[in-house]
Chains A and B, each alone.
Chain A
Amino acid sequence: MSTVTQTKNLLAMAKPSKVKLSTADKVYYSIVYSVIIFLTVLVLYPLIFVVSSSFSSGQAVTNGRVILWPVEFSIESYKRVYEYKVIWTGYRNTIFYTLVGTLWNVIMTACAAFALSRPKLPGRSWLMFLFAFTMLFNGGLIPNFLLIRDLGLYNSPWVLIIPGAISVYNMIITRTFFQNSIPGELNEAAVVDGCSDFRYFFAILLPLSKAVLSVITLYYAVAHWNSYFSAMIYLNTRNYWPLQLFLREILINNQFSAEMLTTMTDEEIQKLQGMSDLLKYAFIVVATVPILMVYPFIQKYFAKGVMIGSIKG
């Protein structure tokens, strides 16, 4: 390869606009840029629309006057959401489930992945099969339901934490990382120096595995934050409900809690009817912003996680 082209390429990477393009390339790039920008706008638009609606007046939303930016800017909806006690119960519970659940998930997953990544462990492939098979086949809804009931977990907050301890998919990602990214010699050297497996795990392996641990932590945390199915079938007591179940009541079933209505005058209730759309937009924003705020910071890790997962271990 000539140095001229290399320099050209470097230039091309550094300052794309300065390089002359052939007509074919010009056409190609204009198509690429317009399609990508179109798709990005398509993804972004509904999100902006929701946020803008939540900051508009109730009337503007019901009459369909909000198109892109807030119309008759107001934070009335957020005041209402703030007064809506139930949502804070949901928030508190979801934060608890997410923190405790994720911690439990990551500990269990890392332990299993560590053990199954040891090449000379007797029974390793058999044990691996034991885990992997659960991805292909399961007992189904009713047997699981009966088990939870028999264990006394029905209507207990722990039902959202204990049974889902390990996602086998995440365990395999972690195991693949332990196998491929941590050199095996490290373990051999540690063993020669008289390091126990416990110490190797805590003092050497975990500190070196921050990348994969952050990936699975985030996968688990997002799953806890967003899931509703287990809570819906196992939790009766509203006090234990996660945020998503309250959202379901409001957004899907269109019910606002009676508790909220009784503290209001008739006039306020009428106003609320007009505002129900507005409130829904505000609830959507309040429930989603925390997870979307965290995400861009850890985006690079997510991409990494998908890549690690795609390599067969």
Chain B
Amino acid sequence: MKNDNLMLTKPSGTVYWRRLWLRICRHWQVYVFLFLPVAFILLFHYYPMTGIQLAFKQFDFKKGIWGSPWVGWDQFEKFFKSHMFSRVVKNTLRISVYEIFAGFPIPIVFALLLNSFRHERLKKTVQTITYMPHFISVIVLVGMLFQIMNSRSGLYGTIVHYLTGNYPKDILGSAKAFAHIYVWSGIWQHFGWGSIIYLAALTGVSPELHESAQIDGASRFQRVIHIDIPTLLPTAIIMLILRAGQVMSIGFEKVYLMQNTLNQINSEVISTYVYKIGLTATITDYSYATSIGLFNSVINLVLIIFVNQLAKRVGDTSLW
């Protein structure tokens, strides 16, 4: 009797665990569903995290990851002192910031304009065409770039020749042009796709708002300024903040394909440098590559946590 009383007011530890155990048992089938995915996540995502210790070791092929000797922060010091440090960090930041400034507003403007389109069928056609390049593989995209931007046989060469009578200098081997080509080809490929999320936000505007504005004599442009843009603003702010969280990460795939010995000064970014140090250099250095990779991942992690906090304050939205 006394015990029962206690249970009602304050379940003791063992009772709590027993109830939890019962709930777990009731869900056993659900855990069966989770078994493979969780095993997969642990093996392919969490186990490699133990390999991060390599960043603080000097990898020895005979002894493996766990047996290699510790060297403390040596690898990081080596990286910070190397002449490649400022180059890869600067290139990464420069290309990334350029991409944000040039690439961020275009899908928004495109969505605003497309939203005021009055021919449904034409609108669908425009969407089909502008989303299409998003599905082109990065190898094909860069292949197209090489063909079209070729300064002799490509469209670029042909046009400049037609206009000036001379063939232009090779633009694909130019270090100066690298960021421009990289960013604008990316915009060409993805601006249509990027507008989807804004178009979706715009369909959330109640038609009555537009109707009453129309009755009050607002022109379509005024309605864009006073109805459409304020509707998009929260989505846009969140997207911008989240994008800013990735400012230190540039995908490997496209940069690597576009690189050549001539443009390397401006095209070597952190991810491509890690790949070369770790896997393709004549003397590969696993530890050094891991430490550079870790340096980058930690910055990315800190940035994303920071901008997520910011998003919480500004837009009341967050990733988690």
Mark A residues whose CB is within 8 Å of B: 1, 5-6, 9, 12, 16, 22, 24-25, 28-29, 32-33, 35-36, 39-40, 42-44, 46-47, 49-50, 53, 61-64, 67, 108-109, 111-112, 114-116, 118, 120-122, 127, 130-132, 134, 136-147, 163, 165-166, 171, 196-198, 201, 222, 225-229, 233, 244, 247-248, 250-252, 277, 280-281, 283-284, 287-288, 291-292, 295-296, 299, 302-303, 306-307, 310, 312
**Bound state CA distance, A137 and B41, in angstroms?**
13
Q: A residues within 8 A CB of B200? A: 303, 306-307, 310
Q: A residues within 8 A CB of B20? A: 122
Is A138 in contact with B131, judged by CB distance below 8 angstroms?
no
Is A25 in contact with B219, judged by CB distance below 8 angstroms?
yes
Among A39, A291, A295, residue most surrounded by chain B Cβ atoms (within 10 Å): A39
Q: B residues within 8 A CB of A252? A: 139, 142-143, 146, 257
Q: How near does chain B come to A284, taking the closest CB pair, in angstroms? A: 5
Is A130 in contact with B38, judged by CB distance below 8 angstroms?
yes
Given known pairs A62-B153, A144-B48, the reply for A46 and B148 (CB within 8 Å) is: yes
Q: A residues within 8 A CB of B37? A: 108-109, 111-112, 115, 131, 165-166, 171
Q: B residues within 8 A CB of A303? A: 196, 199-200
Is A248 in contact with B48, judged by CB distance below 8 angstroms?
no
Q: How near does chain A come to B80, taking the closest CB pair, in angstroms? A: 18
**Bound state CA distance, A19 and B191, in angstroms?**
32
**Bound state CA distance, A1 and B208, in angstroms?**
9
Nearest B residue to A9 by beta-carbon distance? B211
Q: B residues within 8 A CB of A29? A: 116, 118, 220
Is B127 in contact with A299, judged by CB distance below 8 angstroms?
yes
Number of cross-chain contacts by CB at 8 Å:
276
Main secondary structure of the interface of A (DSSP, over half): helix
Is B12 positioned at the interface, with any CB of A under 8 Å from its CB? no
**Bound state CA distance, A283 and B143, in angstroms?**
10
Ranked 7 nearest A-B pairs via Cβ: A143-B51, A139-B48, A251-B143, A64-B158, A226-B137, A140-B293, A197-B29
Q: A residues within 8 A CB of B253? A: 228-229
Given known pairs A111-B37, A146-B65, A307-B200, the reply for A251 and B221 (CB within 8 Å) is: no
Main secondary structure of the interface of B (DSSP, over half): helix
Is B212 positioned at the interface, with any CB of A under 8 Å from its CB? yes
Q: Please tell me which one of the listed residues A121, A140, A147, A251 contacts residue B274 in the complex, with CB atoms under 8 A apart.
A: A140
Q: B residues within 8 A CB of A46? A: 144, 148, 188
Q: B residues within 8 A CB of A226? A: 135-139
Q: B residues within 8 A CB of A302? A: 131, 196
Given known pairs A64-B161, A277-B147, A288-B140, the reply for A43 and B36 (CB within 8 Å) is: no
**Bound state CA distance, A233 and B276, in angstroms?**
11
Is B34 in contact with A143, judged by CB distance below 8 angstroms?
no
0/1 interface trace, chain B 277-308, chain A, CB 8 Å (1 if under): 01100000010011001100100110011000
- 7 contacts across the A-B interface (CB closer than 8 A): A1-B215, A5-B211, A121-B27, A277-B153, A283-B143, A292-B135, A307-B197
Q: Please tell me which one of the listed residues A43, A64, A197 contacts residue B129 in the complex, with CB atoms under 8 A apart.
A: A43
**Bound state CA distance, A28 and B146, in angstroms?**
38
Q: How near does chain A come to B281, taking the closest CB pair, in angstroms? A: 12
Q: How near does chain A come to B220, taking the closest CB pair, in angstroms? A: 5
Q: B residues within 8 A CB of A198? A: 29
**Bound state CA distance, A310 and B136, in angstroms?**
23
Is B320 in contact with A132, judged by CB distance below 8 angstroms?
yes
Is B220 in contact with A25, judged by CB distance below 8 angstroms?
yes
Is A251 in contact with B211, judged by CB distance below 8 angstroms?
no
Is B34 in contact with A127, judged by CB distance below 8 angstroms?
yes
Is B219 in contact with A287, judged by CB distance below 8 angstroms?
no
Q: How near does chain B come to A20, taking the closest CB pair, in angstroms? A: 13
Is A147 in contact with B51, judged by CB distance below 8 angstroms?
yes
Q: Please tell me which one of the listed residues A35, A139, A229, A284 contacts residue B113 in the complex, with CB atoms under 8 A apart.
A: A35
Is B45 in contact with A138, judged by CB distance below 8 angstroms?
yes
**Bound state CA distance, A171 and B211, in angstroms?**
40
Is B85 positioned at the interface, with any CB of A under 8 Å from its CB? no
Q: B residues within 8 A CB of A50? A: 144, 147-148
Is B30 positioned at the interface, with any CB of A under 8 Å from its CB? yes
Q: B residues within 8 A CB of A247? A: 137, 139-140, 143
0/1 interface trace, chain B 101-139, chain A, CB 8 Å (1 if under): 000000000100110111100000011111111011111
Q: Please tell me which one of the listed residues B33, B192, B275 contacts residue A141 in the complex, with CB atoms under 8 A apart.
A: B275
Q: Please tell me which one of the listed residues A5, A281, A288 contacts residue B215 in the complex, with CB atoms under 8 A apart.
A: A5
